[in-house]
Amino acid sequence: MTVLSSDLPPFRRADGPDKVTGSGRYTADLSVTGMAYAKLCFAKVAHGRIRRLDVTAARELAGVFAVITADDVPDLLYSPVIPDRRLFARDVVRFEGEVLAAVAAVDAETAERAVSLIDVEIEPLPVVNDLEAALKEDSPLVHEDWESYEATGDTPRDRNVATFSSITKGDAASAMDTADVVVSSRYVADGSHAVPIEPRSVLAQWEGDAVTIWTSSQVPFEARAGVCETLQLPTNRVRVIVPHLGGGFGGKCGFHFEAHVAALAKAAKRPAKLVFSREEEFLAPDRRRESMIVELTTGVTNDGEIVARQGRVLIDNGAYVADAAFFPQLAAMHVGGPYRIPAIELEASLVYTNHQPSGSVRAPTAPQACWAVESHTDELADAVGLDPVEFRRRNIVHTGDEGFAGQVYGEIGLDECLERAAASLAASVAEVPLGSHEATGVAVSWWPSFGVPAGANVKMQEDGSVQIITGAQECGTGAVMTLADIAADELGVEPSDIRIVYQDTAVAPTGPGATGSQTLLNHGRAVEAASRQIADQLRELAAAELEAAAGDIVLADGQAGVAGSPGASLAIADLAASAAQADLLLGSASAPVPEYPTVSAVCVGDQGMAAWLAPQFSCHAVRVAVDPDTGVSRVLEVHAAHDSGTILNPIGAHGQVEGGIVMGIGQALTEGTQLGEGLQRNAGLLEYKLQTIADVPTISTQFVEIDTPNAGPRGSKGLAEAPNVATAAAIANAIRGVIGSSVRTLPMTAERVWSTIEEARV
């Protein structure tokens, strides 16, 4: 792993001691007097019609407090863009993790026994398992009544096409005719999972007509909204609290099982807690990484200039649309890539299948699309006889360029990322030459920042300490902890003097939660603005005492001093104490959402993804060894360079890049969902092959810091998802360098690499 340079500033996370000592409590650790243990009954078939669901025996089992089904909750459809699902299955089940019933019992064993007593008969229906077959006119429908769903917006839909987007600029077909070389490629990426170490857990407790829910969610306000909608409750009767969260990677975004447990607790007349098994964590949540098919055709001149691209993407939505409605436009942008392309024609379809629903796992659609695009890019470079790095130099976007969607880029650092990563790898290879079965690979990538409303309340206490109340959610990245640094810098105090209250919908301003790399970008701006309000109050107080202009007051090191007068200062704690006797030092702000750029491309099914706010850019360069006899590939080193704006927390930023790279290695080589007629065959940690510490290569990380206005606080951008995007693509190009052919299915397992080698020998 990278050894961080000694000049990086120290950073002590407020949540660190609890987590590293084991004293911190996660949702599964919580216990309430009289608590029942919850268990869900799942369909366990991919598609079928419910002919019988009899819970009588389960309800009569000693120790069972309640069993509920669709008959015990409001009968309504929900989901953010296309309401197409119910809390409990009614009439039809569409994937194996569909919830049929919920049980509350005196202990986990009794709950498990009660579930086994539920009498279920499901008549099999045809399984929609193949993306391309699902588009045919004679394909069975996953949702026979899809036309009745009241979707928001004007996103095109048709039969098993849940949503569709296209991006068109210029005449790609005519431009393709002017190309000297045209290359067409097809790539298939399997689905995969977030696999956080902490399994999903929910605890619900009613007090009168109000419910408090503790949950392992990345988005507590969205979870609250889902409970209110599905159980028909007013907002002020639902409180959602998130204790420490044991990772999420997007898999714990959205609204999941909070309403099931809340309804069960009410029926049982006692608190109820649900903790998923590892198998259930694989099978049931509607947030897995989507499988994709990517077809690309690109025309280039003999000197390596891209003149046109046509692309088609099919995205496996699974049985229900969660937050995947915007994935087609996001995928279309990614298959365009961070390149100058004068004429482009891209289309992407989100396709219903009888698989587990897809959703926002770290950088949705991006790693798969980047893997396809950057593999295709190396093929283009080969076709015109250019080095892969040189080909990218000639085509990537630079400051001031117009992207293929018409967005004009401000100051960006993709060119420097490419040069730094390539140079770092080249220096390593010069020091330790490549072995006989080793090669290098490079890939560039991009990812948007998402500006959304977020608020913060800040209060300076009588002793000069500070309290931040934020709707931000800490999922392990440390982004929430960085909010203290921002406030401390504005107020002239130490970060250790600041306490953060978060992850509680009853006290915090509404916020987007930990999703889309939004935490620091949006909540940071709100904390910055609220802290400045208090700072202005402190300057006014100090100015009156020191007989100076408020604009000359400097807040630093716990003192309010006069610029240019070292001896004239007051302790900030004394100012806070005096203020408490007359007025409180309070700040409250909801920072304005940054303005999104405009585009000139024609976008069908626009979900707001064609213009990218403060896009992040990166380049990953890798050294990989491949055993030609077995197909086993091993990543030996990764050199990463990222343009993520101003870096506010260097240690945290390095950690995010390293973690994203390791996750990307797993997606590249071992992590993929194996399906048989819609059912997962590797729903466990023994069969689903995660990377371990023994697989982690040497990683070097560099940041191209560019102060980016109209983005996050102090010129920052988002960061957490971008490191996950380019890794698999760079590894693919290195494997190709060893074996001489592209592996066109992701993950590039040993079997698939070996098969590609054997096919080339024929």
CATH of the domain at 79: 3.90.1170.50
Q: What is the pLDDT of residue 6?
A: 40
DSSP per position, 186-198: EEEE--B----SS
| Closest of 490, 441, 460, 496 to residue 622, by C-alpha | 441
Cis peptide before 709 (omega within 30 of 0): no
All residues at 6 or more sequence positions from 89 whose CB lies less than 8 Å from its CB, including other chains = 43, 50, 70, 98, 99, 100
* The dihedral formed by the CA atoms of 87, 90, 92 and 93, expressed in degrees to the nearest 10: 30
Report the CATH number at residue 750: 3.30.365.10
User: 130 lies in a domain?
Assistant: no
d(CA 722, CA 668): 15
Long-range pairs of 755-758 with CB within 8 A, sequence gap ≥ 24:
755/631, 756/631, 757/628, 757/631
d(CA 389, CA 403): 20
User: 712 lies in a domain?
Assistant: yes
3-class DSSP state for residue 498? strand
d(CA 621, CA 436): 19
Q: Are residues 269 and 314 in the same domain?
A: no
Q: Are residues 700 and 640 in the same domain?
A: yes
Q: Are residues 584 and 605 in the same domain?
A: no
User: 239 lies in a domain?
Assistant: yes
**In 451-523, which residue ranges form alpha helices assigned H by DSSP?**
479-491
| Closest of 479, 480, 714, 706 to residue 591, by C-alpha | 714
User: 113 lies in a domain?
Assistant: yes
Please answer whether residues 105 and 31 qualify as being in contact, where contact means their C-beta atoms are separated by less than 8 angstroms.
Answer: no
All residues at 6 or more sequence positions from 551 whose CB lies less than 8 Å from its CB, including other chains = 539
| Closest of 329, 296, 293, 333 to residue 314, by C-alpha | 293
- The pair of structure tokens assigned to 754 is 């070996």
Please answer whether residues 102 and 264 qualify as being in contact, where contact means their C-beta atoms are separated by less than 8 angstroms.
Answer: yes
| 466-470 β-sheet, strand order | 498-501, 466-470, 455-460, 585-590
Q: Are residues 459 and 445 in the same domain?
A: no
Q: Are residues 604 and 519 in the same domain?
A: no
- The pair of structure tokens assigned to 189 is 């990426």
- The pair of structure tokens assigned to 505 is 């919908």
Domain boundary among 551, 566, 590: 590
User: 257 lies in a domain?
Assistant: yes
Please answer whether residues 265 and 143 qualify as being in contact, where contact means their C-beta atoms are separated by less than 8 angstroms.
Answer: no
Q: State which residues form the domain around 501.
A: 455-590
Q: Are residues 279 and 331 in the same domain?
A: no
3-class DSSP state for residue 330? helix
Q: What is the pLDDT of residue 687?
A: 94
Q: What is the pLDDT of residue 711?
A: 93
Q: What is the pLDDT of residue 11?
A: 63
Q: Are residues 322 and 214 in the same domain?
A: no
First-to-last CA distance in the chain?
40
Rounded CA Rg of the chain: 27
| Closest of 402, 400, 391 to residue 443, by C-alpha | 391
- The pair of structure tokens assigned to 512 is 């987007």
Q: Are residues 308 and 266 in the same domain?
A: no
Residue listed under structure tokens 């403060």: 614
User: 145 lies in a domain?
Assistant: no
Please answer whether residues 444 and 418 qualify as being in contact, where contact means their C-beta atoms are separated by less than 8 angstroms.
Answer: yes
**In 22-107, which residue ranges form alpha helices assigned H by DSSP?**
56-60
d(CA 367, CA 373): 10
Query: What is the number of other CB atoms lying within 10 angstroms of the CB of residue 330?
Result: 25
Please answer whether residues 546 and 563 qualify as being in contact, where contact means their C-beta atoms are separated by less than 8 angstroms.
Answer: no
CA distances, 219 to each of 247, 348, 357, 363 (Å): 12, 27, 18, 16
- What is the number of domains present in the chain? 3
* The dihedral formed by the CA atoms of 124, 129, 133 and 137, expressed in degrees to the nearest 10: 40
Query: What is the number of other CB atoms lying within 10 angstroms of the CB of residue 459?
Result: 19
User: Which residue positions in the chain have pLDDT lower than 70?
Assistant: 1-11, 582, 762
Length of the chain: 762
User: 184 lies in a domain?
Assistant: no
Q: Are residues 337 and 269 in the same domain?
A: no
What is the DSSP-derived secondary structure letter of residue 464? S
Q: What is the pLDDT of residue 65?
A: 98
Q: What is the pLDDT of residue 663?
A: 97
d(CA 393, CA 421): 13
Q: What is the pLDDT of residue 3?
A: 38
d(CA 595, CA 612): 10
| Closest of 582, 580, 586, 591 to residue 491, by C-alpha | 586
Q: Are residues 430 and 537 in the same domain?
A: no
d(CA 746, CA 178): 33
Q: Are residues 574 and 629 in the same domain?
A: no
- The pair of structure tokens assigned to 194 is 């977030």
User: 566 lies in a domain?
Assistant: yes
Q: Are residues 404 and 344 in the same domain?
A: yes
Domain boundary among 590, 607, 629: 590
Residue listed under structure tokens 């600029």: 169
